C-alpha cells in the first residue's frame, strides 16, 4: 500500500525521494509528502493530497533547501480522509522537530492517543500515525537518545507498521522499524536507502537487505545497524536485485498495464527457465526445503491467496489434482484462519502473492505454520516476507509489475502452478514418465503461443472500445475456464468501474440466467473440442440458451472451432494448446478487453480508484 522512501548520503535527498516515490506510485496512493533536514539542522516538510504532481507543484511554489537526508511517503488512506492534513509526514512534539512516515495500521492508537491527550498533546490530523510521532518525540525528550526512544515506542505499538523517523537534533540518521509491513534497505557507496520495496532505490543500487519482523534499522550514510525491538543485533543477509530501473518504465507503451500485457511471453518463459528441461522433465531445486518424504506424506493442499492470485490458485487446483491426485482446496487468505481450519503436519500450504507482502496471506501462512504445516510460497519479489517465512519458494521471475491490475504476475503464477502440479505428479509417481515429459514439452511451447495471442488481439481491442458504454458484462466458463471468467470480471470491475460477474457456465440455469436480457453482453470461455471428455457441447448449449434470451455473446475459443462461430456474435480465437494450459492464453484477451474499455472511458488503467497494488494491512 503506502510507498516509503528514506535516504542519507551525498546526493540531493529531495531528488532521491521524489524519484523513489514516482517509482512507487503503482502501489496506489491518495496523497504524498517529504521531509528533509537541511545542513543547518532545520527540518522542512511539504505534503499535499492527490497525485505526486500536486506535491511537486507545492515544492515548486515553496522550495526546499538542498539537503542530504530525508524521508518520503505516498499514502493510501486508512485512518482519516485523503487531505493535506492527513498526508504524511507527521510532525511530533511541541517544537515539531521530529518527522515520521508510516505504512500500516496501529491497532491500539485510540488508547495511546487518549494518553497523549491527557498530557495536553495537540493533534493536527485524524491519523493513527501522528500518535506514534508524538510518542517518539516525547520519549526522545526524556532519554536524549533517538534510537532508544524509538525502540521504547515501537514496542508499545500493536498492528502492522513500517515507520521511518528523522529528527533535527540528530540530523545524520534515519530510523526505521518493521512489523507486518514491508521494508528493504538499499546499500550504496557512501549512501544508504530505505524503501517499501526495491523499486524505491533500484535506480541507485541493486544491493539490498530485507528487514525482518520486529527489527529496527539505524541508517547513516556510512553505516547500517539492524537490531531487534529488544536490542539484539541482527546480522544482515544481502541480496542482488535482478532487474533495473528501466524494467519499471513504460518503454514507450501507453500505460504500464499495456506494457505488462506485452511482457507476458517473457514472464512465462522466465518462470519456466531452468525448471523444465528440453525433454519436458521438471526440476524445482528451489523447493528442496520439502523432502521426498514430505511430498509423499502430503494428504491435502490448501492454497491461500487474495484477488487475482486466488484465481491462479483455482486454475492450479485442477492441474494439481489431475496430475498428482492430491486433494486441493483454495481459500481466500482473509477467511482462512478465522474459521478454525483443519491443518496438520501433512497439510501443504501453498501461498500465492505477487508482492509477497499481502498481509492477509502472511497471517494465514503464519497461522498454518503454528499448526505444524509446511508452507510453499509462489512469489514474484526477491526478499519478500512471504518468501523468507516459507519453507520453500517458487519465484515467478516476472519482473516488476507496476500497474495495480495484475496481468503478467497472474500468467506467471498460473505457470508456476502447472510446474508444481507436474513436480508433485512425478514425486508421487502418479504420472508415467512419457506422459510427464509430454506435458512438460507442451508447457515449454506456451511462451511462443502467448506471443501469438498478443499479436492477434485487434478484435479484443475493438470490442473494448465499442462497449465503453456497457453497464454490465457477464463472464461464463467451465473447468479451468471458470476461474478465467472470474478473473475477466474482476479486471473489468477494477479498471472500468462497471458491474461484472464471472459464473460457472453449468450454474447458469440455477439462477444467473435471470440476469440475461436483450443486449446483455456475455463473454464465454469455450473449452477445446479435442478432448475425449470435452465440455464443449455443454458450453455451446449454454450459449444457445442465453442467445435465445437476447444476450450478445463474445466467445474466446480455440483456433479451428467453427461450431462456436455459428452461435456467437464475435469469436476471439487463441492458438491450440494442451487444454489444461489454455488459461494462460484465454485470459489475455480479457485483459486487453478491460484495458481498452477503461481507456475508452478516459480512466487511469494503471492506478484505478480506491485500489492499492500491495495490500499490507488486514
Domain harbouring 191, CATH code: 3.60.20.10
Clarify whether residues 278 and 380 are in a common domain.
Answer: yes
Range of the domain at 353: 251-444
- The Cα–Cα gap between 292 and 380 comes to 25
The pLDDT value given to residue 456: 94
**What's this model's pTM, rounded to 2 decimal places?**
0.77
Clarify whether residues 81 and 105 are in a common domain.
Answer: yes
User: What digits encode the pLDDT tens for the residues 534-587?
Assistant: 899 999 999 998 998 988 999 999 999 999 999 999 999 999 999 999 999 999
Q: Is residue 618 part of a domain?
A: no
The pLDDT value given to residue 83: 94
Decide if pLDDT at 248 tops 80.
Answer: no
The pLDDT value given to residue 94: 92
Residue 615 pLDDT grade (very low, low, confident, very high; cuts 50, 70, 90): low
Of the three residues 180, 213, 247, the one that is the final residue of a domain is 247
Element (H, E) at 441: helix 433-444
- The Cα–Cα gap between 406 and 1 comes to 15
Least trusted range by pLDDT, from 149-158, 210-219, 429-438, 530-539: 530-539
Helices (H), 273-307: 292-297
Helices (H), 80-170: 109-118, 129-143, 146-154
Clarify whether residues 395 and 270 are in a common domain.
Answer: yes
Q: Is residue 449 part of a domain?
A: no
Instruction: Let me know: does 10 contact 190? Beta carbons within 8 Å.
Output: yes
Q: Is residue 58 part of a domain?
A: yes
Least trusted range by pLDDT, from 144-153, 200-209, 378-387, 440-449: 378-387
Clarify whether residues 382 and 480 are in a common domain.
Answer: no
Clarify whether residues 233 and 329 are in a common domain.
Answer: no
User: Does the annotation mark 97 as catalytic?
Assistant: no
Decide if pLDDT at 71 tops 70.
Answer: yes
Decide if pLDDT at 247 tops 70.
Answer: no
Specify the residue for cell string 492458438. 575
Q: Of 134, 110, 398, 32, nearest to 247 (Cα)?
A: 398
Q: Is residue 614 part of a domain?
A: no
Q: Of 523, 496, 488, 521, nearest to 598 (Cα)?
A: 496
For all residues of the chain together, what is the average pLDDT? Answer: 92
Residue 613 pLDDT grade (very low, low, confident, very high; cuts 50, 70, 90): low
Most confident of 365-374, 427-436, 530-539, 582-591: 582-591
The strand pairing partners of 379, in sequence order, are 353, 395
Average pLDDT over residues 50-57: 95
Q: What angle do CA 524, 529, 534 make, to 5 degrees?
A: 85
The pLDDT value given to residue 614: 62
Decide if pLDDT at 243 tops 80.
Answer: no
Q: CB-hemisphere CA count at 13 Å for 175?
A: 27
Percent of all residues in the chain with a pLDDT value above 70, rounded to a whole number: 97
Clarify whether residues 106 and 210 are in a common domain.
Answer: yes
Average pLDDT over residues 207-235: 95
- Work out whether strand 392-395 and strand 347-353 pair parallel, antiparallel, or are unpaired: unpaired
Decide if pLDDT at 4 tops 90.
Answer: yes
Average pLDDT over residues 133-158: 96
The strand pairing partners of 375, in sequence order, are 349
Decide if pLDDT at 289 tops 70.
Answer: no
The pLDDT value given to residue 486: 97
Clarify whether residues 184 and 261 are in a common domain.
Answer: no
Decide if pLDDT at 512 tops 90.
Answer: no
The pLDDT value given to residue 570: 96
Q: Is residue 596 part of a domain?
A: yes
588 CB neighbour count, 10 Å cutoff: 25
Clarify whether residues 275 and 156 are in a common domain.
Answer: no
Clarify whether residues 134 and 277 are in a common domain.
Answer: no
User: Does the annotation mark 313 as catalytic?
Assistant: no
Q: Is residue 40 part of a domain?
A: yes
Average pLDDT over residues 348-354: 95
Residue 283 pLDDT grade (very low, low, confident, very high; cuts 50, 70, 90): confident
Of the three residues 247, 267, 300, the one that is the final residue of a domain is 247
Q: Is residue 616 part of a domain?
A: no
The pLDDT value given to residue 8: 98
Decide if pLDDT at 156 tops 80.
Answer: yes
Instruction: Let me know: does 492 contact 605? Beta carbons within 8 Å.
Output: no
The pLDDT value given to residue 548: 84
Clarify whether residues 267 and 392 are in a common domain.
Answer: yes
- The Cα–Cα gap between 504 and 511 comes to 11
Average pLDDT over residues 343-368: 92
Decide if pLDDT at 470 tops 80.
Answer: yes
The pLDDT value given to residue 228: 96
What share of residues in the chain are helix, strand, coil (percent, to 5)? 40, 25, 35
Q: Of 396, 429, 6, nearest to 196 (Cα)?
A: 6
Least trusted range by pLDDT, from 85-89, 172-176, 184-188, 379-383: 379-383
The pLDDT value given to residue 617: 55
Decide if pLDDT at 618 tops 70.
Answer: no
Decide if pLDDT at 448 tops 70.
Answer: yes
Percent of all residues in the chain with a pLDDT value above 90, rounded to a whole number: 72
- The more confidently predicted of residues 402 and 222 is 222
- CATH number of the domain bearing residue 272: 3.40.50.10490
Instruction: Let me know: does 587 contact 452? Beta carbons within 8 Å.
Output: no
Decide if pLDDT at 612 tops 90.
Answer: no
Three-state secondary-structure class, residue 106: strand
Q: Which residues contact 281 (CB under 8 A, 6 or more apart)?
A: 426, 436, 437, 440
Q: Is residue 527 part of a domain?
A: yes
Of the three residues 419, 444, 469, the one that is the final residue of a domain is 444
Clarify whether residues 240 and 319 are in a common domain.
Answer: no
What's the structural domain count of the chain? 3
Give the sheet arrangement for strand 238-240, strand by strand.
Answer: 43-49, 31-37, 69-75, 3-8, 192-195, 184-187, 207-210, 238-240
- The Cα–Cα gap between 269 and 437 comes to 17
Average pLDDT over residues 306-331: 96
CB crowding 124-143: b at 16 or more within 10 Å, else e: ebebbbbbbbbbbbbbbeee
Three-state secondary-structure class, residue 378: strand
515 CB neighbour count, 10 Å cutoff: 17
Clarify whether residues 31 and 170 are in a common domain.
Answer: yes
The pLDDT value given to residue 396: 93
Decide if pLDDT at 62 tops 70.
Answer: yes
The pLDDT value given to residue 231: 94
Amino acid at each position: 500500500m503506502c510507498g516509503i522512501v528514506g535516504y542519507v548520503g551525498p546526493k540531493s535527498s529531495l531528488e532521491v525521494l521524489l524519484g523513489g516515490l514516482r517509482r512507487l506510485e503503482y502501489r496506489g496512493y491518495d496523497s504524498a509528502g517529504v521531509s528533509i533536514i537541511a545542513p543547518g539542522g532545520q527540518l522542512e516538510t511539504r505534503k499535499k493530497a492527490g497525485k505526486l504532481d500536486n506535491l511537486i507543484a507545492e515544492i515548486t511554489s515553496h522550495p526546499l533547501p538542498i539537503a542530504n537526508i530525508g524521508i518520503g511517503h505516498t499514502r493510501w488512506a486508512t485512518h482519516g480522509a485523503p487531505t493535506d492534513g492527513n498526508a504524511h509526514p507527521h510532525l511530533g512534539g511541541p517544537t515539531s522537530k521530529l518527522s515520521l512516515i508510516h505504512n500500516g495500521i496501529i491497532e491500539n492508537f485510540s488508547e495511546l492517543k487518549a494518553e497523549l491527550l491527557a498530557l495536553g498533546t495537540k493533534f493536527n490530523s485524524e491519523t493513527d500515525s501522528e500518535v506514534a510521532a508524538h510518542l517518539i518525540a516525547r520519549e526522545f525528550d526524556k532519554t536524549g537518545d533517538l534510537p532508544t526512544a524509538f525502540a521504547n515506542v515501537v514496542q508499545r505499538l500493536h498492528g502492522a507498521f513500517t515507520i521511518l523517523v528523522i529528527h533535527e537534533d540528530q540530523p545524520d540518521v534515519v530510523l526505521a522499524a518493521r512489523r507486518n509491513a514491508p521494508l528493504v534497505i538499499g546499500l550504496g557507496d557512501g549512501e544508504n536507502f530505505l524503501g517499501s520495496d526495491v523499486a524505491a532505490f533500484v535506480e541507485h543500487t541493486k544491493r539490498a537487505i530485507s528487514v525482518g519482523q520486529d527489527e529496527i534499522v539505524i541508517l547513516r550514510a556510512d553505516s547500517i545497524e539492524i537490531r531487534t525491538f529488544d536490542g539484539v543485533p541482527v546480522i544482515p543477509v544481502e541480496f542482488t536485485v535482478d532487474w533495473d530501473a528501466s524494467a519499471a518504465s513504460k518503454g514507450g507503451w501507453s500505460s504500464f498495464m499495456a506494457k505488462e500485457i506485452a511482457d507476458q511471453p517473457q514472464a512465462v518463459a522466465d518462470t519456466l527457465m531452468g525448471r523444465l528441461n528440453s525433454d519436458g522433465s521438471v526440476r524445482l531445486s528451489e523447493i528442496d526445503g520439502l523432502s521426498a518424504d514430505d511430498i509423499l506424506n502430503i494428504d491435502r493442499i490448501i492454497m491461500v491467496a487474495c484477488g487475482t492470485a486466488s484465481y491462479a490458485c483455482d486454475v492450479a487446483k485442477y492441474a494439481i489434482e489431475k496430475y498428482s491426485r492430491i486433494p486441493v482446496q483454495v481459500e481466500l487468505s482473509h477467511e482462512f484462519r478465522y474459521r478454525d481450519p483443519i491443518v496438520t503436519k501433512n497439510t501443504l500450504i501453498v501461498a500465492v502473492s505477487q508482492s509477497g507482502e499481502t498481509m492477509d496471506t502472511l497471517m494465514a501462512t503464519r497461522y498454518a505454520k503454528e499448526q505444524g504445516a509446511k508452507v510453499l510460497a509462489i512469489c514474484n519479489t526477491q526478499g519478500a516476507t512471504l518468501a523468507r517465512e516459507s519453507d520453500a519458494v517458487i519465484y515467478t521471475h516476472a519482473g516488476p509489475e507496476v500497474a495495480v491490475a495484475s496481468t503478467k504476475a497472474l500468467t506467471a503464477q498460473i505457470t508456476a502452478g502447472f510446474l508444481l502440479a507436474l513436480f508433485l505428479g512425478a514425486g508421487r509417481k502418479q504420472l508415467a514418465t512419457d506422459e510427464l515429459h509430454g506435458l512438460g514439452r507442451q508447457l515449454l511451447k506456451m511462451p511462443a503461443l502467448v506471443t501469438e495471442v498478443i499479436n492477434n488481439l485487434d478484435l479484443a481491442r475493438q470490442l473494448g472500445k465499442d462497449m465503453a458504454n456497457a453497464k454490465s458484462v457477464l463472464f461464463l466458463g467451465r473447468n479451468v475456464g471458470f476461474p478465467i471468467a472470474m478473473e475477466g470480471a474482476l479486471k473489468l470491475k477494477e479498471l472500468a468501474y462497471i458491474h461484472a460477474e464471472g459464473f460457472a457456465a453449468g450454474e447458469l440455469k440455477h439462477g444467473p440466467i435471470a440476469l440475461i436480457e436483450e443486449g446483455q453482453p456475455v463473454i464465454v470461455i469455450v473449452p477445446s473440442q479435442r478432448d475425449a471428455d470435452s465440455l464443449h457441447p455443454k458450453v455451446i448449449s449454454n450459449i444457445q440458451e442465453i442467445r435465445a434470451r437476447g444476450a450478445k455473446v463474445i466467445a474466446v475459443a480455440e483456433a479451428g472451432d467453427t461450431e462456436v462461430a455459428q452461435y456467437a456474435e464475435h469469436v476471439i480465437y487463441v492458438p491450440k494448446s494442451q487444454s489444461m494450459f489454455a488459461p494462460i492464453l484465454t485470459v489475455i484477451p480479457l485483459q486487453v478487453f478491460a484495458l481498452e474499455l477503461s481507456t475508452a472511458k478516459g480512466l487511469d488503467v494503471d492506478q484505478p480508484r480506491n485500489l492499492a497494488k500491495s495490500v499490507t494491512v488486514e
